[in-house]
Each structure stands twice: as C-alpha cells, then as structure tokens.
Amino acid sequence: MKFYLFFIILICLSHTSHSKLLSSQEIADICHSDDDIYLVDIFKHRKPTLGYQQDKDHKNDIDLDGDGLPDVMHGDFVAKVFELNQRPLKTYGIKNFGKSGIQGALGDLRHYIRIKQIKKPAAIILALSQSYSLEKIAIELLGNQNAPITMSNIDNYAEQIIAGIKETLGDHHSLYSFYRDVKDLEKLGVPVVIAAGNDYSTTINLASLMGATSIGALDLNGEVAAYSNENLYVNIYRPGDYISRELPGGIDINNDGIVDFESSLLTGQTKLKDWVSNNQPQILSISEAQTKLKESFLIESNDFHQFTGVSDQAILSQYDQTYGDVVHYPSNMSFFKQPDGTLVFNPAKDNSSDQVAINSGTSFAIGSLCN
Ligand SMILES: [Ca+2]
Ligand SMILES: [Ca+2]
C-alpha cells in the first residue's frame, strides 16, 4: 500500500506547470489578435477602462525627469510603453497591489467575462511579484529547512509550495487567491501574463509557479538585464529599460523625438545628474545608506565603478532593512566613474545631453509584450 502511495505522490510531484507557459508564437498570436489585452495596474494620470482611478493626492512612483521626485504612477508608465508598440490596450485600475487590489480586479474581470459583459480578452497582464528565497520557501512553505530544493528542481515542488501557501498563509491570502484566479481564468481560456520580478535571480517570484507566463527584461544591449529574474519559469524576454530624454514640451521615453509625457506632469526640480556634476556627492556604502536617507548622496553599488543616485526624496523602500541591500527599483539612476574621477550619467552610451533618467524593470518588459 505504501509503495502505491509513494508512486501516487511521485506522479503528483512530477506534474509540471511548464506546459501552461505561453510560447513566443502564442504571445505573437495574442498581440496580433483583435481581442483586448487588459493591464491591471495603478493609474492616476490616465483614466482606466474599468476599475479605480487613483486619487490626485496619491503619491506617484515613477520619476520621469530625473529629479528624484516621482511624476506618474506605475500603470501610467506601463500603459504608455505598451501603446508605443501600436497595440491598443484596455486597463483595469486598482488602488494598490495588495490582496484586495489584484484579487478584486481578477475577480471582476472573471465575472464580467462569464456574464459576457466584456468580450473574452486575449490576455490579462500585470506586475505581481511575490519573491521568496529558496530558504524561505523550504522553511515557511515546505516546513522543512532541509528540503533539497534548487532553482532547477523547484517545479517538482510547485504543487507542494502552493499547498504550503494555502496551509501557512491561508486560502484568503493574496498569493493563494491569485493562484485560484489564474486557474479560473485558464478554464475560461484567458491567460495571465506577469512580470518575472526584479530580484537579480536571487529569489523566485511565487506568482511565476502558478501557471502565469512570466516576462523577463532585456537591457539596452539586448541581453537579459542584471536585475531581471531568470529561471525556469521565464521563457519570454522583452526590453525593460526606458531612458527619459528631455525635449521641449516634455519627456520622450522611446527616442523617437516625440514627447510621451508632457511638461505639466513633471515635477521639474534640479536633476540628479546636474546636482552630481555641480557637487562633490558623498559616496556611501550600502550599509551606511540607511541613516542618510534624508540627504542627497550616492550609494556604492556592487559594481565597483557604478554608483546609484539617491536624492533627498528617495523613499525608504529603497533600503531593504532585512537584507541590507538597496532594492533595484526605483533607485536606478546609475552613474559611472570615469578615469578622471568624474561621475557621468550616460545609460544610452552615446554621451547625449538630453538623457535625464532611466526607468528599468520587468514591469516595463510586460509593457513591451507586443514589441
Ligand atoms: Ca520628477
Ligand atoms: Ca516618444
């Protein structure tokens, strides 16, 4: 009896979720179809097709003009990136990325599809990242700190991890409800596409092992971006780095000479690149950064010759107190040290003077889905 049970368990464990990942061809078919693609995100500047438009006094999170002060919300930026690829987009606005936000959005969309209030969309895309280290998965979700789990065999444990989420965090937790939503939408024939996560491949985005297709980011050289998660759940990559260039009238993010965000949206204070060239910025190690968050300084990054700019408006989330590291987003104003000791901001590597900021992330790679 034990022997049979062992085989039944083995069969369950060997079940992989790979087959549900969309292929490049399926993504192309989605992009070329006449069906809608819905982006679930937070919008403030743009009025979403469905859902909630964030209040005017809600703090923005994307800095477009490089002064360290955010100008628009995440969803405003992702939708803009998407539309620069000439693919129409519908949007569902949420208040936050917490439980009620995603769960409410996917629940509403599922309901509207079922009752035929909206036409079945070609895909739903969103940037849900719930990162767990292998150690945390083993201890908290598998209940066994010695579980022989690795980045390459994790899919063998997917079912157990999902069961662990239900058991440990509860079936109302955002992760478990996301899993149920993905399964329900799959039954309705609607794939869910997510950002792979910006964790430098050190952790796993648990949303990736739930049957959603994860999109990783490419850098400006067309290589997998350093920050992008790269693991067995990520089979599609898209450009994730967008340089802001200052033009008369606003900011251009795709270097076509056409303004994408008008000046009226921008905070327009001293640009970090100007501040750096006019001051002798204090260079701190990551461990020293926490106490200086209210001041302007540069953090020495892992790359010896690279420094990450932090302005006095930098938000505390840039410093991850648990791990003592600076999280990738939104601290991505990277300066490089020249042989003469000066620091330059030159992400385009063309020395152009109109570069003022760069926004990078796998969220923006989902914006580039139909690139
Ligand atoms: Ca700004
Ligand atoms: Ca443009």
- Which residue reads 């360290």 in tokens? 68
CA of 275 to the centre of ligand 1 (A): 14
In the 8-state DSSP scheme, what is residue 297? E
Give the number of the ligand closest to the Cα of residue 255: 2
- Cα 222 to ligand 2 centre (Å): 20
Per-residue pLDDT, 327: 47
Instruction: Count the Cβ atoms, other than its own, within 10 Å of residue 218.
Output: 18
Q: Residue 164: its pLDDT value, please?
A: 96
77 contacts 364 by C-beta, under 8 angstroms: yes
Q: Whose atoms come closest to the Cα of 265: which ligand?
A: 1
How far apart are the CA of 268 and the centre of ligand 1, in A?
Answer: 6
Query: 356 CA distance to ligand 1 centroid (A)?
Result: 10
CA 108–ligand 1 middle distance (angstroms):
33
Decide if 256 contacts 54 (C-beta within 8 A).
no
78 CA distance to ligand 2 middle (Å)? 14
pTM, whole model, 2 decimals? 0.87
Measure the CA–CA gap between 1 and 282, rounded to whole angstroms: 68
| C-alpha torsion angle, residues 37, 41, 45, 46 (rounded to 10) | 20
> Ligand 1: distance of its center to the CA of 54 in Å?
18
Query: How far, in Å, from the CA of 72 to the mean position of ligand 2?
Result: 16
Q: What is the pLDDT of residue 335?
A: 78
Q: Which ligand is nearest to the CA of 67?
A: 1
Distance 16 CA to ligand 2 centre (A): 41
Residue 245, C-beta contacts closer than 8 angstroms, at least 6 positions apart: 251, 252, 253, 255, 352, 354, 355, 356
Q: 259 alpha carbon to ligand 2 midpoint, in Å?
A: 5
Whole-number Å distance between alpha carbons of 223 and 241 = 11
Closest CA to 82 of 43, 54, 52: 43
* H or E, element range at 4: helix 2-14
Question: Which phi and psi angles does 297 have, rounded to 5°?
Answer: -165, 175
Amino acid 163 reads A
The residues, any chain, with a CB within 8 Å of residue 132's CB and separated by 6 or more, are 140, 141, 203, 204, 206
What pLDDT does residue 216 have?
Answer: 96
CA dist 32 and 330 (Å) reads 32
Ligand 1 midpoint to CA 271 (Å): 8
| Residue whose structure tokens are 């969803």 | 75
62: CA distance to ligand 1 center in Å? 8
Task: Report the 10 Å Cβ neighbour count for 193.
Answer: 21
- Ligand 2 centroid to 80 CA: how many Å? 10
Do β-strands 213-218 and 204-205 pair in parallel, antiparallel, or remain unpaired?
A: unpaired
Distance 103 CA to ligand 1 centre (A): 31
Tell me the CA–centroid distance for residue 67 and ligand 1, in Å.
5
The CA-based dihedral angle spanning residues 64, 66, 68, 74, taken in that order and rounded to the nearest 10 degrees: 20
Helix (H) or strand (E) holding 244: strand 241-247
| CB contact at 8 A, 42 and 97 | yes
Per residue of the chain (371 residues), what is the pLDDT tens digit? 444 544 444 444 444 444 479 999 999 999 999 999 999 999 999 999 999 999 999 999 899 998 878 899 999 999 999 999 999 999 999 998 776 788 899 999 999 999 999 999 999 999 988 889 999 999 999 999 999 999 999 999 999 999 999 999 998 888 899 999 999 999 999 999 999 998 877 789 999 999 999 999 999 999 998 888 999 999 999 999 999 999 999 999 999 999 999 999 999 998 888 888 888 777 777 667 666 666 666 766 655 556 666 654 443 334 444 434 444 444 567 777 778 878 888 889 899 999 999 998 999 999 999 98
User: Could you give the residue ranges of the DSSP H alpha helices within 86-214?
Assistant: 99-114, 134-136, 158-169, 174-187
Asked whether the beta carbons of 240 and 371 are under 8 A apart, the reply is no
What domains, with CATH codes, occur in the chain? 12-243+361-367 (3.40.50), 272-354 (no CATH)
